[in-house]
Homo-oligomer: A and B are copies of this chain.
C-alpha cells in the first residue's frame, strides 16, 4: 500500500481529503494533522467518518515520511514550509492558492503580497486534470485549484479549446456559491440567521480566482462576479461570451461532447424535458463530476456556458485526488466513484 498523510485536516478541504483517502483502494492514510484539534478523533470533527477511521489528529511536528503528502492549510502557509514538506514526501499536492500561479507578477498583483518561495512556482503543475492531464502524469508537485476558477475554466474549456469565442470580447462570469466556500471557521456573516436565505453579491469583480482563469484560459478581459446563495456545497458558473461569426449550436454541441468524451468527470447536460435540463450543483454533492451546459443566441452570438461542480470535490479535494491518481499512474477515477445523490 502507498502511504499518504494530510497536513491540515480539520478544515472542510482536509476533511474531504480524509474521506476520500481513507476509502481509496491503493492507499493507507497514515497521519492527519491539526493543531486546534490535536488528540481528538478525526470523526469528532468530521462526523461522517465515524466507524471509518480510528485515526486521531496529530501534531505536524510528528509527521513521518510518506509516499504522498497533501497540504490543506489556509492560503499563505504552505509557501513558508514547502522546503520542509518536500523532505517528507516525494510527491506533494497542495490545496491552497500558494502554488497555482506560474507567474510571480500575476501572484503579486492578485494576492497583493510577495511570495515566500517563488522558485517553487515553476515546479508545480496546475492541478486541474482536464487542462493538464499529460503534465500531471509525470509531475511530483501539483497545486490545488480555486473552486470558482474551476467552475469558470471548465465552463470555458470547450469554447476556448475549439476556438469558438472571440478572445477580444469581454467574458463575464456570474458565479453562485454555497456556504462551505467560506471555510469551516465561519464568521459573523456566515451565522445561519444571517446567511440563510441570502442572495448576496459579495464580489462584483476582482476576486482572486480570476487570476487562475486568466492564466489557464489565456483571456485578458474576464470578470468574475460572485453571489452567495442558500446552499452548503456547490458552485454554478454562468459564463457569458461572444462566439465568432458563423458559429452555430451544432458547433457547440461538437465541442462540448468532445470535452465529455475526453474527460471522465465531464458530462454534458442539455435536456429538452424533465426537471433536470441544465447543470445543477445540488446533485453533484460528494461527486467529482463537472456538468456542462450551454445556450447560444444565434441572432447575436451571445453564448451562455454553464458549469456546475461541488466546490469541495472537483473544486478542491476531488481534483486533488484525481491529480494523485494521474501522478501515480492509477486509474484516473480511483476512489472518486461516488455518483452523487438524487433527490438531495
**A106 CA to B158 CA in the complex, in Å?**
35
Q: How far is the CB of A295 from chain B (nearest CB, A)?
A: 4
Q: Which chain B residues lie closer than 8 Å to A289 at the CB level?
A: 51
**Is B278 in contact with A202, judged by CB distance below 8 angstroms?**
yes
Cα of A191 to Cα of B194 in the assembled complex, Å: 10
Q: How far is the CB of A251 from chain B (nearest CB, A)?
A: 17
Which one, A66-74, A112-120, A234-242, is touching chain B? A234-242
A90 interfacial by beta-carbon distance below 8 Å: no
Alpha-carbon distance A236/B226, docked complex (angstroms): 13
Question: Which parts of A207-241 form the interface with B (CB within 8 Å)?
Answer: 221, 223, 225, 227, 229-234, 236, 238, 240
What is the total number of copies of this protein in its complex?
Answer: 4
A227 & B176 in contact (Cβ 8 Å cutoff): yes
- Please tell me if A206 contacts chain B, counting CB pairs below 8 Å: yes
Are the C-beta atoms of A179 and B199 separated by less than 8 Å?
Answer: no
Say whether, besides A194-B275, A274-B45, A339-B19, A229 and B286 are in contact (CB < 8 Å). no
Q: A19 contacts which chain B residues (CB < 8 A)? A: 339, 341-342
Query: A287–B48 contact, CB under 8 A?
Result: yes
Residue interface bits A146-175, CB-to-B below 8 A is 1, else 0: 000000000000000000000000101010
A109 in the interface, Cβ–Cβ < 8 Å?
Answer: no
Report the interface size for chain A: residues with CB under 8 A from the other chain.
90
- The answer to whether A230 and B232 touch (CB under 8 A), given A184-B191, A300-B221, is no
Given A172-B172, A176-B199, A238-B174: A232 in contact with B286 (beta carbons within 8 A): no
- Chain B nearest CB, measured from A8 CB (Å): 16
Residues of A259-293 whose CB lies within 8 A of B: 260, 264, 267, 269, 271, 273-276, 278, 280-283, 285-287, 289, 291
In contact, B193 and A304 (Cβ under 8 angstroms): no
Contact A230 B229 (CB under 8 A): yes
- Measured CB to CB, the nearest residue on chain B to A266 is B51
B186 x A304 contact (CB < 8 A): no
